[in-house]
Structure 1
Amino acid sequence: MFSTLLIAFAIVVAINCLFYILFANFAFAKPQTPSSQAGFPVSVVICSKNEAENLKKHIPLWLEQQYPNFELILINDASIDKTLEVIEEFAATDERIKIVDVKNNEAFWANKKYALTLGIKKAKNNYLLFTDADCKPASNSWIQHMANHFSSEKQLVLGYGAYAKKSGLLNKLIRFETVLTALHYFSFAKAGMAYMGVGRNLAYTAKLFYDTNGFMSHMYIRSGDDDLFVNEAANSTNVALCATPESFTVSEPKKTWKSYITQKKRHITTASNYKPLHKILLSIIYLVNCLFWIGTVVSFVFLQWEWVATLVFFRLLIQYIIFGKTFKIFRESGLVLLLPLLEILLISFQIAIFISNIFSKPKHWK
């Protein structure tokens, strides 16, 4: 029994480390060289629902982008606050702003994908860059850095959407999960298996959107305008990665556990619609992480501590090396010191969310 338990624990550690090799391929790779210094027209598309205050702060930042040719498509998604009024005020002073005022449609009630589709149809340019109303660009060259990665082959650009640093455990957990998620989707994309992106910072061509029939295959799913579209539209050759600090966007994180749980419940519901290979690989990653920590406790109880400690040390060493580099790329180096604590907390949190979603699923994006 003891030898079987040790072998099983060693297999879990080995599988863990195999995935870390996949992650290392991104973490230690040289940044992708932009295929061009873009100057072609870009349409920045932003969907807003009850975001009047955020728009007041962020529209000036988008308009200050140092890019020679872009328009700003601002979508009012049936807001009940002063979102439309704020957009109209700015549009009156800057002709680059184009307004899309969406009324609730009975067939697509509160569906962000419907609003985004109308915004994309309004855009006059082939190159589209997306972010959210509560996001601000990390620099005034955000558009330039993202657009530089477009080419005749690369029609989809994955960017990074960070969360602002605040005090407290919740904020650290949110930022940790954000970096970990980015490590996963950047690493898979680099290996030719892109499975998601984040709507806070994502770019693709209008041609790719129409060739994929937009969001039609998953329009009935309330969330997933970003990850489900990427899951369907991406292939092994048409995706570029942009992880330069100047290309980041920054969002205000949730401030309460309740609001964070609601957000995560909505996000997790989309994963079941990924391609089978993606679901299998992501499930294995999560499973072996769970088994590692469970196996650590069980093995220390029943096995000689020297063998267990060696395996645990080896796994944590590999993880610290790769995650340390990754967190440096995404400007979150301070979180590495809390790695075991945050990983265990995130695993426990995800289990709770999964169980909760079985009984209650969110219906609206806001």
Structure 2
Amino acid sequence: MIIEKIKESRFTPEVFDIETFGTAFSDHMLLCWYKDGKWGEPIIKPYGKLDFTPAISVGHYGQGIFEGMKAYKGSNGDVYLFRPEKNFERLNKSAVRLDMPEIPEHIFMDGLKALVDLDRQWVPATHGMSLYLRPVMFATEEAITARSSNEYLFAILTAVAPNYYNKPLSVKIADRYSRAANGGVGFAKAAGNYAGSFYPTHLAREEGYDQVVWTDDATHTFIEEAGTMNVMVRIGDKLITAPTSERILDGVTRDSMLQLATKLGIEVEVRKITVQEVYDAHKSGELKEVFGVGTAVVVNNYVAVGYGDERLELPLLSPEESYGQILKKNLVDLQMGVSEDPFGWRVKVEENLVEA
């Protein structure tokens, strides 16, 4: 691995006061190019601009995938990753679906750890904050031929992550637009999945909502995801979430929450859930919570759900009563080394992986 260190760090403690997600980038980035049928040697260098022409393949045919991860700093100064092997596996699953080359494990894992070690001062120690990690791969061939690219760039960039949402959100259940369809790329973390969601989200905001709860493409009767997150519904004392499928992203946070909930004695059901079931539960007073879970947000409890012309207001539960907030606290405590890790999810980033 080639290392080119920044001459003078851009870090200042004030960066931890940032309130905007994904704009305060750390000193370094990792780059690795795929050309002539093989991956080259990865390089860590100062974060900055790259040189491309308007003919770059990803801009025309959309071969772009990414992952979302975080690095955490414990009270003792140790820095941790969280289940990085899951993101590695999912990135390559996305690559296969978009006919892109799989990234070797040593480039992903060793590069990720070296990059985080080099920029460990950028990892905030404040509870609930983190350094967001964005592995990304996209087609770079200078060609506007409609085919899979012959050249790609794998990169990892990092940015200080404050609390992603500082207020509870309201969501509108989709009854026309769809996020994904059978046979499509809904299970992949593909750039186009997000591009296609922006317009329906814009329409929802015009109606006074923050995000969209996505439903199945065929009938719009089954709840699948919410915004950029997996969605969980609490009816009575039971936590329900949809099973993953070729339409639904297999979220790392989702999987972790389900395992944590079971360990905490919360009854969990992974099954299809209809919009009508949620509506009826609200009318009967049994709908206690609806919340989204994901790497960036961790958990966001919704205050209202839009269904047709109706706005279903949700009860405001205390942190001690809310399953969403209980699970969030337990997960963040585990991620930051505050509590024990019975699952073996926490991966310590050793110091001085990169020679001075």
TM-score (norm 1): 0.23
Please identify which structure carries the higher helix content: 1
Looking at both structures, which has the greater relative contact order when contacts are Cα pairs under 8 Å and sequence separation is at least 6? Answer: 1
Please identify which structure carries the higher strand content: 2
